[in-house]
Amino acid sequence: MAGAASIPILDLSWADGPKRAELLEQLRSALFDVGFLYIRHHGVSSTIIKDLTDMLPTLFELPAKEKASLSKLNSPHFLGYSGFAEETTLGKQDLREQYDFATELPVVYEAPLNDEGANVGRGKRNFSQLYWRLRGPNQWLELPGFKDAFTAYHDAVQDLSYRFVHLIEEAFDIPVGTCDHFFGRQDPEVTTAGRYTTSNGASKSFLPPQHRIKLLRYPPSSDPTQAQGVGAHKDSSGWLTFLCQVGGEPGLEVQSADGRWIKAPPIEGTFVVNFGNAFEAATDGAVKATIHRVIAPGPDNNVRYSIPFFQGLPLDMTVSEIRSYIPERVRRLRKEAGGDDGVSSFLDPRWDSLGDSQLRKWIRSHRDVGLKWYGQEVVDFYTA
Ligand SMILES: O=C(O)CCC(=O)C(=O)O
Ligand SMILES: [Fe+2]
């Protein structure tokens, strides 16, 4: 978080009325000065949210055996259940339990046919790239109504995420729809106008990406010295994050440029929005992937639940490619912020493609899944 000491709340209903210009001004400030914001009147129906959030306690109270049967270890896509404290951030256990779900999509990965890893892909896309193995179907819970509730929530937040990217494009003063093809959404007008083409004149198409949704439970911690709900981090799973804080239990904190931790408590009817590493890299750090963490509830507090939605990007896209859509005028707005600068490691040329950086991220946080499905050599490469 750059300068401001408090996190702005933007009213997205202003997008459709006379206050649109004011909203865009607030958005610019949230993007360039703060790097974290709340949105209200966002258009995701409270019924859709409630249908999913009401199920959270039941989902986590299922018998341990049933939850374990959905272990991420079953999934080369890192989708499924992780037990309490099975995930680590900064080498320390996170005191939370979670299910990872995603846009329901079939497997596209094709194991290479020969030792050279020859291009066996369909058409121009090389599906033998290891990172394509991240893409694949969910492990569904046998809980009546869950799949429908999850799917409705996914679709509604996906729609919000696309509307929000349009607002950002407007705030950046670039044509609305510039980023549509990142999400496999081709605006015919944009294409025929020929504004978004590659250097050789071909218009580039991507598969619609897989968005990731975590269902999180943070139980009260009996030991106040052990309160890492999730350690300080930048989001690396996507482009933008839309976080639903369920109920009233606080814990989320956001780091300001001078290193102070600012509380971001739940506010009824809002999502928290923040920006992932890829967004920071694409804007050369003009918009920060702000560092945040969750303090686990104390012994006298309630269980905390939350649901972050990580808006996906195409795995075969490169950071340099995304950056080419963000004008230099925007990228020059970079303000220096103190603290660690994760952009540089994200931009390591070894993982210029987003798929590589995603595979690295998942292997680093779930080494056991990495070893099982990708093997020692790959794990060593990404954790070195
Ligand atoms: O639980 C929360 O409120 C935030 C979780 C988070 O930052 C994450 O999973 O990336
Ligand atoms: Fe996060």
Candidates 67, 121, 98; CA nearest to 316 is: 121
Is residue 81 a part of any domain in this protein? yes
Cβ < 6 A, ligand 1 pocket: 214, 216, 230, 235, 243, 245, 252, 292, 294, 306, 308
Tokens 């509830």, residue? Answer: 297
* Ligand number nearest to the C-alpha of 308: 1
Q: How far is the CA of 254 from the centre of ligand 1 (A)?
A: 11
Q: Positive or negative, the Cα torsion across 163, 164, 170, 174?
A: negative
Tell the burial category of 339 from Cβ atoms under 10 Å away from its Cβ (0-12, 13-18, 19+). middle
Q: Which ipTM was obtained for this model?
A: 0.99
Is residue 167 a part of any domain in this protein? yes
Is residue 143 a part of any domain in this protein? yes
Q: Are strands 36-40 and 9-11 parallel, antiparallel or unpaired?
A: parallel
Neighbours of 46 (CB within 10 A): 10
Nearest CA to ligand 1 atom 1: 306
DSSP-based three-state secondary structure for 6:
coil
The tens place of each residue's pLDDT in the chain, 384 residues long, gives 544 468 999 999 999 999 999 999 999 999 999 899 999 999 999 999 999 999 999 999 999 999 999 999 999 999 999 999 998 888 889 999 999 999 999 999 998 876 554 544 455 689 999 999 999 999 999 999 999 999 999 999 999 999 999 999 999 999 999 999 999 887 544 443 334 454 444 456 889 999 999 999 999 988 878 899 999 999 988 899 999 999 999 999 999 988 899 999 999 999 999 999 999 999 999 999 999 999 999 999 999 999 999 999 999 998 888 889 999 999 888 876 544 455 555 666 666 789 999 999 999 989 999 999 999 999 999 998
Distances (CA, A) of 345 to 14, 165, 236, 259, 278: 38, 25, 12, 20, 11
Is residue 26 a part of any domain in this protein? yes
pLDDT at 348: 65
Provide the residue range defining the domain that includes 246: 9-383
User: In degrees rounded to 5, what are phi and psi of residue 176?
Assistant: -65, 130
Nearest CA to ligand 1 atom 9: 308
Is residue 62 a part of any domain in this protein? yes
C-beta separation of 321 from 178 below 8 A: no
Choose which residue among 1, 86, 87, 216 to substitute to test ligand 1 binding: the one with the highest number of ligand atoms within 8 A of its C-beta: 216
Distances (CA, A) of 36 to 78, 176, 217: 27, 22, 22
pLDDT at 195: 42
pLDDT at 237: 80
Domain count, the chain: 1
* Assessment of whether the complete model's pTM goes beyond 0.90: yes
Which helix (H) or strand (E) segment holds residue 218: the answer is strand 212-218
Nearest CA to ligand 1 atom 5: 308
Is residue 348 a part of any domain in this protein? yes
Tokens 């018998």, residue? Answer: 63
Six-digit token pair at 110? 């094709």
Neighbours of 186 (CB within 10 A): 15
CATH number at residue 133: 2.60.120.330
C-beta separation of 124 from 305 below 8 A: no
Six-digit token pair at 76? 């080369």
Candidates 217, 214, 291, 292; CA nearest to 249 is: 217
Is residue 2 a part of any domain in this protein? no
Residues within 5 Å of ion ligand 2, judged at the Cβ atom = 235
Q: How far is the CA of 201 from the centre of ligand 1 (A)?
A: 40
Q: How far is the CA of 226 from the centre of ligand 2 (A)?
A: 19
Distances (CA, A) of 51 to 151, 152, 197, 266: 11, 9, 42, 18
Is residue 3 a part of any domain in this protein? no
